[in-house]
Amino acid sequence: MKRFEGKRIVHTGGASGIGRATVLRLLEEGATVFTVDVSEAGLAETTSAASGLQGKLVTHPADLASEEQIVTAAEAAVEALGSVDVLINGAGAMRPKAAGASERAAFQWLLDVNYLAPVTLIRELLPHIPDGDGVVVNVTSTSATKAHPGMTGYAASKGALLAYSVSLAAELAPRRIRVVPVSPGGISTPLSASVSATEGIDFEWFSRIHPLWGEMGKPRDIAAAIAFAASSDGAFLNGVELRVDGGAHT
């Protein structure tokens, strides 16, 4: 499929995991992708993996916890692309910890990266998204609506992004700009692999919410869902959570 030929896409989180898989999927379908991530090494690996694909890739290192760096990244994206057909907020951060042992600063950092970064990037890029067929995809999480012990900070930040997305869809409806929150379940990524047993958390809980066939999803599974939501195939999808979890939360 070449659903994104001629499309200009701004994306965050392209250095690894779901983000990298999404970038590669979009490039395969002909997009020009401007991706932002804090990891320069990871962005270089993504660039190498993208060699030979049809689309064009531009990378921009930035710390998404910094409003100043987000604004600079948005300016660079507009300079590189001219206008933006699709914005995908795919970057995310996770720091599992028991609620009683969580410092305020840790919660604030999760909110900065997982919620306020997308909010800021949307604010900066909305004037450059054309009316009629623009799309914003925000990668949220099943943690936003389902119980995941030890993930209270992460859940709160993703829950904020989910709620924001639904209201934003209504706000942008007069411009016919679609907003779709995509919520992955358990996916095998470097981020999920970094989660280990944390004091005070019953990690046996997570064995109860595995996909129905028992295996975690792959980054490409979420990339495919994001590509669908962002493409003309998802033209009637707006303001509703697209949950992709292998039936883990049925």
For 101, the 3-state DSSP assignment is: helix
The candidate with the shortest Cα–Cα distance to 124, out of 57, 79, 158, is 79
The C-alpha R_g of the chain, in whole angstroms, comes to 17
The candidate with the shortest Cα–Cα distance to 19, out of 6, 34, 5, is 34
Q: What angle do CA 20, 22, 26 make, to 5 degrees?
A: 120
Known catalytic residue at 115: no
Instruction: Name the CA dihedral angle for 200, 203, 204, 210, rounded to a multiple of 10 degrees.
Output: 160
Which one of 4, 34, 115, 154 is the catalytic residue? 154
**Alpha-carbon distances, residue 136 vs 106, 195, 216 (angstroms):** 27, 29, 26
Which residues are identified as catalytic? 154
